[in-house]
Amino acid sequence: MHDASAPLPIVILISGNGSNLQAIIDAAAHTALPVEIRAVISNNPSAFGLERARRADIPALALDHKTFPGRGAFDAALQTMIDRFEPALVVLAGFMRILGPGFVTHYLGRMINIHPSLLPALPGLDTHNRALGTGLREHGASVHFVTNELDGGPVIIQARVPILPDDNVKILAQRVLMQEHHIYPLAIHWFAEGRLQLDQEHNQVVLDGTPLTSPVDYTDADNNPHDPQ
């Protein structure tokens, strides 16, 4: 059990650029985000996010999934690598690998992910293009606990953005990403303070002792009683 008075030890998994990783690094360095990033691990050895970690003096490790005979072997090696750092929370920040049930169960209740849509809408890939193609009027991002249902774990917090008439995928993606950089450190902050849990029996988010019937809506942040800022 993590001592809420001490920084929360976390490990962050990435596959690419690592902009959400950078938001977490910056929040830990310049705001009151009480975490210790013990390692950044990528399945892609050329991921720029590893360089972001090195610049912040965080251990940066690559575990190339292509060198393993199958998903199970990769998952086992990744779990071993993560557990060396004894994290209280595993943070998926653009980690583009589907994780097997044994791995997910091992970290159940202490692994979270950020997804670029308003879940349960648009699980999976290519969400911005799909949002534009289906004529939606709003889009956004969701932070959720990871379960064995792909992008289907209980949602903690969401941020909504409008879809404007002249939007293209690049513009919409950037608008969503700006919100991701706010809500992911916030969800981690809640977990670090012991305010956020997963009720595994009921598959439900509990925040400040109260089961959530719907995700926290960061869009109305000025009136958000959970926001520590």
Catalytic residue among 2, 65, 106, 115: 115
Q: What is the DSSP letter of 152?
A: -
Strand runs labelled E in 33-137: 35-42, 60-62, 89-92, 111-115
Q: Which residue has the tokens 């009683």?
A: 225
Amino acid, res. 91: V
In contact, 22 and 50? CB cutoff 8 Å: no
- CA–CA distance, 139 with 126 (Å, rounded to integer): 13
Euclidean distance between the first and final Cα of the chain, in Å? Answer: 26
Is 189 among the residues known to form the active site? Answer: no
DSSP notation for 174-196: HHHHHHHHHHHHHHHHHHHTT-E
How far apart are the C-alpha atoms of 12 and 39, rounded to whole Å? 6
Q: Which residues, at least 6 apart from 149, have a Cβ–Cβ distance to it below 8 Å?
A: none
Residue 5, number of CB atoms within 10 A of its CB: 8
Residues labelled as active-site residues: 115
